[in-house]
Every structure is written in C-alpha cells, then in structure tokens.
Amino acid sequence: MAGLIRQFLKPNLVYRSSSIYTQTHRLFSAEGNAPPQTFNKEVIQKLVNLNKVVVFMKGNPEAPRCGFSNAVVQILRMHGVQYDAHDVLQSDELREKIKEFSDWPTIPQVFINGEFVGGCDIMLQMHQSGDLIEELKKVGIESELLKEAENTDPKKDQK
C-alpha cells in the first residue's frame, strides 16, 4: 500500500490517522519519486481505495482549516476510525477534481470502502441516527462508541 501512496501523492498531501488517541503522521516518498502532474479519475479512484475510510478535507486531522472538516474529524475520532485524509488546500487541482469525481460541490468529502458517503451534514446525520455505526460495521470497523456502550451497560453488571 505504501508504494501506491508514494506513486500517486505529493509530499505532505496525505495524512493517516493511526488511532483515536495518537497523532497522525505524514506519508511521503522517501525515495523522492516524482509526484503526479495531474489528478485524473484513475488517480482519484486509487486514493479513495487506499483505506476503508478516506476523507478529502481542508487542512489535516491535526489542524483542520474549516469547521466542517473539523466536524468530520471529530465524528471519526469519536468512533475511533482510522482513515486517510487528503488536504485539498495543498492542491487546487485535487480540490477541483475530487468535486468532479464525486459530483459533490463541497469539501469535506468522505468515502467508505471506495464509495462516496457525503460531506459534513450527511456524516452528522449518520452519526446521530446510528447509521454510521452500521456502515462502519459493513466494512469490518467496530465503532468505539459501541465498545463504550457495552462497558457502561448496567445489564452487563447484573450477569
């Protein structure tokens, strides 16, 4: 997987969230591979398929640069989701091409298992309704919120 990242991404453009409590780290090409000159549909498709959850946002998870991107980061953090984050402010071309790719006009954009889910409003609705837990479960990700609920379940103490 690291080879794909090196092949298709500019340095300092991608961040991987390693867990709910640890910092993200930048992924970059140590070999100095030339970054792509264009973000075409094929390159974008590879980006959204690199991880089960991928976010295109303004800024990075350590320092979101808009409130909507921050909200998505906080939602994913509450669920303990590991994800790749792409800072669209680092590339005007990426910012425009991801909007074309998803046919969605705003940033942030969230992809789960390679499928476009939506932006901040949709993620918030899914979080509030519990649908996000179900979508994550479909791709083999157990939400930290479920684990917390199990640990605080009063019925569990009665057994």
- CATH homologous superfamily of 2-140: Glutaredoxin (3.40.30.10)
User: pLDDT tens across 122-156, in order?
Assistant: 999 999 999 999 999 999 999 999 887 777 666 65
CA distances from 111 to 32, 45, 67, 103, 159 (A): 28, 11, 19, 13, 40
Q: Where are the domains of the chain?
A: 2-140
Contact 80, 12 (CB under 8 A): no
User: pLDDT tens across 75-121, in order?
Assistant: 999 999 999 999 999 999 999 999 999 999 999 999 999 999 999 99
Q: Which of 40, 42, 33 is nearest to 10 (CA)?
A: 33
Reduce the DSSP state of residue 8 to 3 states and report it.
helix
Helix and strand numbers, DSSP H then E, in the chain: 8, 8
